Structure 1
Amino acid sequence: MNVLNSSLLQLHEMLVNKEITSEQLVKAYIERIEATDETMRSFLTLNKEQALEQARKIDEEGIKEEEYLKGIPVGIKDNIVTKDLRTTAASKMLENFVPVYDATVMEKLYQAGMIPVGKLNMDEFAMGASTETSHFQQTVNAWDHTKVPGGSSGGSATAVAARQIPCALGSDTGGSVRQPSSFNGVVGMKPTYGRVSRYGLIAFASSLDQIGTITKTVEDNALLLNAICGPDEKDYTSARVEVPDFTAKIGQNIAGMKIGVPKEFMSDAVSTEVKEKVQEAMKQFEALGATVEEVSLPYAPYGISVYYVQACAEAASNLSRFDGIRYGYRVENVENLEDVYVKSRSEGFGDEVKRRIMIGTYSLSAGNFDAHYKKASQVRTLICEDFAKVLKEYDVILAPTSPTPAFTIGEVQDPVAMYTSDLLTIPVNLAGLPSMSIPCGFVDGLPVGMQIIGRPFDEATIYQVASAFEKATDFHLEKPEIAKGEDHE
């Protein structure tokens, strides 16, 4: 069995049966990265020597049957803090920042025995939908190198799709795990807000950010989410709820389940081709015994307006810490303190980050707070209530992940047009719900994803529904050209 196309469970079996060592596995993936990353440009920093050293230690300890993730490599989005490993958030502001502590999710990955092999490219400070705002490089789509990989977790999704890594962590503030997963034909989960600790995640919008998981298959995704969840006293928004085994319902029948499809998510804003793929998926779910019905989320279309007021306001607050004083980029040849602040931030931040800081500052200003931020908060409550009403009657909600397949690099120049890429994912973040994107077809050779949205802390049902669809179809078995003929035996 080849290594690069194997699932996490298959890799685990190989390691337990001593068909391969962890060191050999890590070497295979590092060789793959070195052979392909000049094209893909997924990685910002490689952790080669430390990863191999960790793998050798694991080989000495041995791997038990129940240690499903031990000895397996993982990629990390570059806004997740990693001790002694450069963490940039793809910004000039943090170009040389080497943290002195690990994010909670990193501690959990180490406890599970996983091996981080590097940090993955992204939109600067997670602000973007195409990874085009990265200060360092342009990651490309795994299926078509002229297309964007999506964002902001573009590096994470592309690396998994191109078989540079078996799984990766991303972060999702308005769709930043699900949309790039859709564009690259992989599985991306945004858990319920509070399910995964945000301690050590460089903050963009604190009431929306959530670390998520990107894998090739649904079961792999559940295994990875198992490892990173749980309450954390270092994160006051971390939910004090029990963490179930997310694989428990995988393989169970979905006959009799009720699936709602919001008419607002199948509007003219969504391309005809994408709608057709989701409609075909609806028929597949009916063939599996589920009831699929149209529902309404009347306030969801206001999600983008609410999001860009609230997220930008929180970003303006969170990014005020990058001031050229304690850490990060600091301009030289300044005459006074104001120069340090203004010039360091002017040179350290990219255009999209500055744009969002300005929008947020405007929304929070004395004359605009009630008209913009307060009004957005009220509409956010209505969006939450919409979802709650539908999810009382239905087990899950089904919708396209993105209005279109991946678009061409450089094609979308208007920032407002770019914001519409998150039209279908943003309402889920505003409501704090779990949602997963899985492949449901192809349009002109490019993957199309659909999202399955669940009740709060009911990720297990999403995995059940997603795995039933995955088992009945073969979209997850399709590979981009760069992943063909590259199998390590």
Structure 2
Amino acid sequence: QELGATVGEISVPEHSLAGALWSPIGCEGLTAQMMHGNGMGFNWKGQYDVALLDKHAQWRDNADALSPSLKICMFVGQYGLERYHGRYYAKAQNIARRARAGYDRALADFDLLVMPTVPLVAQPLPEPDCSITEYISRAFEMIGNTAPQDITGHPAMTLPCGLVDGLPVGMMLVGRHFAESTLYQAAAAFEASGDWRMF
């Protein structure tokens, strides 16, 4: 408000759909486009970086080096593609239109939505010898507020906005489709307003 913004509260009930939708969309999409598609994917228009595609394809020669969270996404994605032939990916994409519409309704009244980047304060890193279950659980506990934007395609950015117990807290800005400039303007105004560590 001190920077000239009008601030209000709004609810986006469809936000809660994101976790369930992200699993098939994120895992099957990642497997098909990023891993099988070697970082370039398929059927999009634009410049394909053949050298990058060749480099990315080398993951197959060193799959043990992939993180456990990536491996579980690939496992779930490949299972969904092979066992269900993309059925749950398709269903999730169809339902994702409701999530997009919910954000669009909220953004009809506001230029930006603001929320915490992650739904919890910074946590200690898992111990190097922690179980794979703990490692993966810790990785996915952070995506509750970012997954919806992955699903709906709304532009979003995060910036540090303060400290809790000496650790940074992120503020995520979400904007209308094709209105990235509004995000940049708001972020620049916030960053120019002072040292985020003092807020």
TM category (shorter chain) comes to 0.7 to 0.9
Match of 2:188 among 459, 467, 472: 467
- Aligned residue for 1:422, secondary structure, equals coil
Q: Which residue of 1 aligns with 2:49?
A: none
Match of 2:72 among 355, 358, 362: 355
Q: Which residue of 2 aligns with 1:444?
A: 165
Q: Separation in 2 of the partners of 1:390 and 1:315?
A: 29
Is the contact made by 2:28 and 2:86 (CA closer than 8 Å) also made in structure 1?
Answer: no
Relative to structure 1, is the Cα distance of residues 329 and 294 closer, same or farther in structure 2, using a 3 angstrom cutoff? Answer: closer
Give the alignment of 1:4-23 within 5 angstroms: none
**Identical amino acids, percent of aligned pairs:** 30
Q: Separation in 2 of the partners of 1:365 and 1:401?
A: 34
Q: Which residue of 2 aligns with 1:379?
A: 95
Give the alignment of 1:162-201 within 5 angstroms: none
Q: Which residue of 2 aligns with 1:316?
A: 31
Q: Which residue of 2 aligns with 1:184?
A: none
Give the alignment of 1:72-471 within 5 angstroms: 285=1, 287-317=2-32, 318-320=34-36, 328=58, 344=61, 347=64, 349-367=66-84, 369-370=86-87, 372-410=88-126, 413-471=134-192
**Aligned residue pair count:** 177
- CA drift of 1:434 comes to 1.6
Which has the larger helix fraction? 2
Relative to structure 1, is the Cα distance of residues 329 and 369 closer, same or farther in structure 2, using a 3 angstrom cutoff? Answer: closer
Relative to structure 1, is the Cα distance of residues 329 and 435 closer, same or farther in structure 2, using a 3 angstrom cutoff? Answer: closer
Q: Separation in 2 of the partners of 1:442 and 1:386?
A: 31
CA RMSD of aligned residues (A): 2.9
Answer with 1 or 2: which has the greater Rg.
Answer: 1
- Aligned residue for 1:399, secondary structure, equals strand
Is the contact made by 1:470 and 1:476 (CA closer than 8 Å) also made in structure 2?
Answer: no
Between the two structures, name the one with larger relative contact order (CA 8 Å, sep ≥ 6). 2
Relative to structure 1, is the Cα distance of residues 321 and 345 closer, same or farther in structure 2, using a 3 angstrom cutoff? Answer: farther
Relative to structure 1, is the Cα distance of residues 465 and 437 closer, same or farther in structure 2, using a 3 angstrom cutoff? Answer: same
Q: Separation in 2 of the partners of 1:321 and 1:439?
A: 34
Provide TM-score, normalisation by structure 1: 0.33
Q: Separation in 2 of the partners of 1:369 and 1:310?
A: 9
Q: Separation in 1 of the partners of 2:97 and 2:115?
A: 21
Relative to structure 1, is the Cα distance of residues 436 and 476 closer, same or farther in structure 2, using a 3 angstrom cutoff? Answer: farther
- Aligned residue for 1:365, secondary structure, equals helix
Q: Which residue of 2 aligns with 1:108?
A: none
- CA drift of 1:395 comes to 1.0
Gap runs ≥5 in structure 1: 1-284, 331-343, 479-489
Q: Separation in 1 of the partners of 2:66 and 2:185?
A: 42
Gap runs ≥5 in structure 2: 39-53
> What do residues 396-429 of structure 1 show as CA deviations (whole Å, max 9, x unaligned)?
1111111233321215825234212011111112
Is the contact made by 1:316 and 1:356 (CA closer than 8 Å) also made in structure 2?
Answer: yes
Q: Separation in 2 of the partners of 1:347 and 1:474?
A: 42
